[in-house]
Structure 1
Amino acid sequence: MAGPTSSLTSQSQPMAAGGSGAGSGMAGIVAAEAVQVSPTVRLAPLSLCSSSADIVVGQKVFAIGNPFGLDHTLTVGVVSGTGREIQSISGRPIQDVIQTDAAINPGNSGGPLLDSGGCLIGINTAIYSPTGANNGVGFAIPVDIVKSSVGQIIQYGKVTRPMLGISFAPDMSSEALGIKAGILVLSAREGGPAWKAGLKGSTRDEYGRLVLGDIITAVNGVKIKSSSDLYRVLDKAQVRSEGVGGSLLKEMSNSVK
């Protein structure tokens, strides 16, 4: 689902309703849709788990979806792990992901992952499989991210992310340069937040030798050892808040080498 669109919503009972998309985010994994139905139709929303912190390894879960076009398929499993990290289609890491052995196959993406009480704890999103078929390692976006994403989609029409206006070296490249912890700034976009805060990118001298730029070691008091740490801090910050535009960058300016 990319941008506002229209759709036809159906369910097992004889009914159909027109829908208009409010927007989408998380690389198309999470979307919000306004649905108009007949007054005689009763739609009950799913209850949401209060917090991703309540999810524990070993608890029973149920995945619902349409694998291979088979509507209303339910599979059962357990939470195999929490705090996992996967890559989105855009390449940005998605953190604190739920791992489950409940069968997730093509067509399950976007379906709910429920606990034994019927509360939504995540949105099914991916599997780890060389063949593309389920092998017992599936992943779901946790409810905390779902809540935040849906709220932003309804308000802005998309998921908004804080932007620092920098490019930085991959972690492996930084390690090869002898940087044990921190983010090596390659460039800071002129006029961007990081540039205004005084961060400098890497350059080359007159002999072509690499001159390292600033290295971000902490943001808002949180130590930054890798790119995952930086993304985690940014994902928790609010767009247009002082935490991103002000104190965050001031802290960065005071925490560079």
Structure 2
Amino acid sequence: MNKSKSSVLTLVVAALAGTAAIGANAQGRVADVYIPSQQQQASTQYMVKTGSSRSMANYPDFTGVAEHTINSVVSIKNYASVRQQQNNFFQFGDGWDPFEFFFGPGNGQQQRKQQQQQPKKSDSKPQLRGSGSGVIISADGYIVTNNHVVDGADKLTVTLNDNSEYNARVIGTDPNTDLALIKINAKNLQPITFANSDDVKVGEWCVAVGNPFGFNSSVTVGVISAKGRGLNESANSGIKSFIQHDAAVNPGNSGGALVNTDGELIGINTMIYSQTGNYAGISFAVPSNTVRKVEADLRQYGTVQRAVLGISYQELDADMAKEHKITATNEGIYVAKVTDRGAAKEAGLQEGDVIVKFNGTSIKNGGELQEQMNKLRPGDKATLGFYRDNKYKTAQVTFKNDQGTTKITKNSDFASLGASFLNLTSKEKDDLSISNGVKVTGVREGKFKAAGVRDGFIITTINDEPVNSSDDVETIYDQIMHSNADKVMYIKGITATGKTKYYAVDLSDAE
């Protein structure tokens, strides 16, 4: 990708279309927007129709798809204290300025200064930070959305298509896939039906449903442009396997549905590729199979269970194939390194192997490999097809977790803390030059969030006692709660960049 000062293509999340997004509005509000009619006619057939009274020259008619889907898509508003907004609003990824995104190139610094010069409001009442979209996945109120839609919120509200509003709580988040699961107390909702995203074909019709710029229940149409699209430039998402499409996606569409012509979910719209931050014909969605796996893990375990193959790789191309005298194929996953005691090593894979199949599915690039692995958990098995010395071979792999075992990662979740804890790998410790520590993940409403602790922070000591596992955290927590001393966790740790930080977590009302 060629970059210059005059024109820089950037990946941006189809982010929060909130007060900043509607900067031309003197009041800076998103509530006073068009609300569609509550009268929605039931559709008994959702396939695209051609040649109907609504069609011209046999163009397809998507009314059935829209009617079936809009009641499953919600608007989500993110509220945060003024102080929280000032602290968190710029954490959208390296090199990306949200003021540039909302107000246009060259205007970011001016708008930031104007915000900083505004009179400070009370920190006690959360202010509207922005809005996004979400998709109902159960009749009793579970909703999937993007992590960046709910990140940093002190309060979340969900508005259904019938204009009813609910407060929402975060069940779990996964920054790596930019997905989050939230819950509202409601019944008899209309959940969306999941499709198998593996069955999606390039060139088929797709429909995006969401709330761009706060305009509820907006429907746009496009076609699938590519599958397994890897985006190494993505600063906001660890996932490298997207569905690319050209249905219009704009700020506020984040977390909304991408559906097929049966009105079934094939993806969650997440980001766009653009010079301006607005739609430019290239949109990306997390595949529905990944969404289904992540939300199931968040519900059951509180954290996502990831299968680890244990290799470093490069995507094979013609030049690399020539360099390594590979004649059997010009595409696939070239194994550059095999991790000791990893799943690939135990299955017999070696450096120089070229992986071309995963459970019978062709693998041409890293995005396609990750798309298959996203479905699996530690302990699951898969058959890999690969070339070695230009001869085709197969091997069965039993996947491990990032700690090198086949066990499900335990999520030590103390309700009052509102956080979960994961053991560090040896590599993470070496990279940070520490001998012990535990990573904070899944921060939601609770003691940690109130104290300012965020996802990814690494705790090294609590009350001067070293911690090296979730069990250590639980033991210290229990000691504090059963002692006669002050009910406080004095936490020392480091950020992902190696900066030392301290927090005091008040546990006095957790008894």
TM-score by length of structure 1 reads 0.68
SS state at 1:128 partner: strand
Q: Which has the higher mean CA deviation after the structures are superposed, 71-80 or 50-59?
A: 50-59
1:181 Cα deviation from its structure 2 partner: 4.2
Q: Which residue in 1 is equivalent to 2:295?
A: 150
Q: 2:320 aligns with which of 132, 157, 174?
A: 174
Partner of 2:171 in structure 1?
A: 21
Evaluate the alpha carbon distance shift between residue 226 and residue 93 of structure 1 in structure 2; reply closer, same or farther with a 3 A threshold.
Answer: same
1:1-257 alignment, distance < 5 Å: 1=147, 7-11=155-159, 13=163, 15-24=165-174, 27-28=177-178, 30-35=179-184, 37=185, 42=187, 44-52=189-197, 53=199, 57=203, 59=205, 61-67=207-213, 70-72=214-216, 74-81=218-225, 83=227, 85-87=229-231, 89-90=236-237, 92-95=239-242, 97=243, 99-101=245-247, 103-114=248-259, 119-172=264-317, 174-175=320-321, 177-178=323-324, 179=326, 180-201=330-351, 213-220=352-359, 224-243=363-382, 248=384, 254-255=393-394
Amino acid at match of 1:94: S
2-side partners of 1:92 and 1:71: how far apart? 28
Shift of 1:16: 3.7
After superposition, the C-alpha distances for 1:91-122 in whole angstroms (9 at most, x for unaligned) are 54215x15132x21123111223567755443
CA distance in 1, matches of 2:385, 2:201: 33
CA contact (8 A) 1:93 1:231 kept: yes
Give the RMSD, CA atoms, in angstroms. Answer: 4.0
Cα 1:183–1:115, aligned 2, differ >3 Å: closer, same or farther? Answer: closer
**Partner of residue 467, structure 2:** none
- Could you say if the C-alpha distance between residues 48 and 185 of structure 1 is closer, same or farther in structure 2, counting changes exceeding 3 Å? same
Q: Amino acid of the residue matched to residue 189 of structure 1?
A: T
Classify 1:118/1:234 alpha carbon distance in 2 versus 1 (closer, same or farther; 3 Å). closer
- How many residue pairs match? The answer is 233
Query: Using the alignment, how far apart are the partners of 1:124 and 1:77 within structure 2?
Result: 13
For 1:169, what is the secondary structure of its paired residue?
A: strand
Cα–Cα, structure 1 residues 18 and 226, in superposed 2: closer, same or farther, change >3 Å?
closer
Report if aligned partners of 2:357, 2:386 keep a CA contact under 8 Å in 1: no
- Residues 223, 250 of structure 1: alpha-carbon distance in 2 compared, 3 angstrom cutoff: closer
Asked if the contact 2:356/2:386 (under 8 Å) is kept, the reply is no
Structure with greater contact order relative to length (CA < 8 Å, sep ≥ 6) = 1
One-letter amino acid of the structure 1 residue matched with residue 189 of structure 2: A
- Relative distance call for 1:4 and 1:150 in structure 2 (3 A) is farther
In 2, Cα distance between the equivalents of 1:114 and 1:220? 26
Q: Residues 54 and 217 of structure 1: is their aligned pair in 2 closer, same or farther, counting only changes over 3 Å?
A: closer
Q: Distance in 2 between matches of 1:125 and 1:58?
A: 20
| Distance of 2:203 and 2:369 partners within structure 1 | 26
Contact 1:83 1:98 in 2 (8 A): yes
| Structure 1 residue ranges without an equivalent (≥5) | 202-212
Which amino acid is 1:183 matched to?
Answer: I
Bigger Rg, which one: 2
Q: What percent of counterpart residues are identical?
A: 27
Contact kept? 1:62, 1:115, Cα under 8 Å = no
| Amino acid in the other structure paired with 1:126 | M
Cα deviations by residue, 1:201-238 (Å, 9 ceiling, x for unpaired): 4xxxxxxxxxxx44445555556554345334434545
Q: Distance in 2 between matches of 1:223 and 1:137?
A: 25
Q: How much does 1:167 deviate?
A: 0.7
Question: 1:119–1:214: structure 2 CA closer, same or farther, 3 Å change rule?
Answer: closer
Unaligned runs of 5+ in 2: 1-146, 396-511
Q: Which amino acid aligns with 1:77?
A: V
Asked whether the equivalents of residues 171 and 227 of structure 1 are also in contact (C-alpha less than 8 Å), the reply is no
CA distance in 2, matches of 1:249, 1:59: 32
Q: More deviation in 182-191 or 6-15?
A: 6-15
The 3 A distance-change label for structure 1 pair 6 and 248 is farther
- 1:6 to 1:119, Cα distance in 2 relative to 1, 3 A: farther
* C-alpha separation in 2, matches of 1:191 and 1:236: 22
Q: What does the per-residue CA deviation read over 1:49-105, in whole Å, with 9 as the maximum and x for residues that have no partner?
A: 4444377856462421243xx25251422335463624254554215x15132x211
Cα–Cα, structure 1 residues 176 and 235, in superposed 2: closer, same or farther, change >3 Å?
A: farther
Which one has a larger percent strand, Structure 1 or Structure 2?
Answer: 1
